[in-house]
Amino acid sequence: MATDRLRAVNKDDGEPAEMDMSPMIDMVFLLLLFFLVVSNPKTIKIDPNLTPSVAENAQAAKTKNGKIVVNVRDNGDFVKEDTKSLMADGAALREYLKAEKERVESKGNEPVLHIRSDKEVEFKYVQRVIKAGATVGLKQVAYAAFNKE
């Protein structure tokens, strides 16, 4: 009698066991949404009017957060990262650097002056950017260069 009941319970109905995948799909979408919200992508626009220098020992930047980009064109013009906003003089450059420094520090990042210049630019223009950065309290400077032609 007990054996008959056990056989009846274990009897195969012919229906395969199915797993409901909808909770797993929901979890994947939640994780995707979480990483999109938490991540902080930073796109750096490249000035098409610049041809960066080539340096044998150039290294990739460790982080993108905290960069304050100044482009120095071969004619000595200073251009903001958006590659459209030209800074007329040293006062405008200092004001831009000061505002960007405050913005970066408010996000909890260490500000780094990131200079990209044309390979034909005279050093005196790059030096002006470095001095303007020092005036507003920037302590780190990175100079952009390619590792290969």
Tokens for 119?
A: 């390979």
Beta-strand relationship, 78-80 and 86-87: antiparallel
Question: What is the model's pTM?
Answer: 0.63
Q: What's the rounded Cα separation, in Å, for the pair 47 and 82?
A: 8
Q: What are 73-89's pLDDT values in tens digits?
A: 878 788 877 767 777 77
**Number of helices (H) and strands (E), helices first, in the chain?**
4, 7
Q: Is the pLDDT of residue 105 over 80?
A: yes
| Residue 47 or 1, more confident | 47
Domain spans of the chain, in order of start: 53-146
Q: What's the rounded Cα separation, in Å, for the pair 133 and 97?
A: 7
The answer to whether domain 53-146 has CATH 3.40.50.720 is no
Predicted local confidence at residue 149, as pLDDT: 56
Q: What are 9-60's pLDDT values in tens digits?
A: 667 666 777 788 888 899 999 999 998 888 766 666 666 677 677 777 777 7
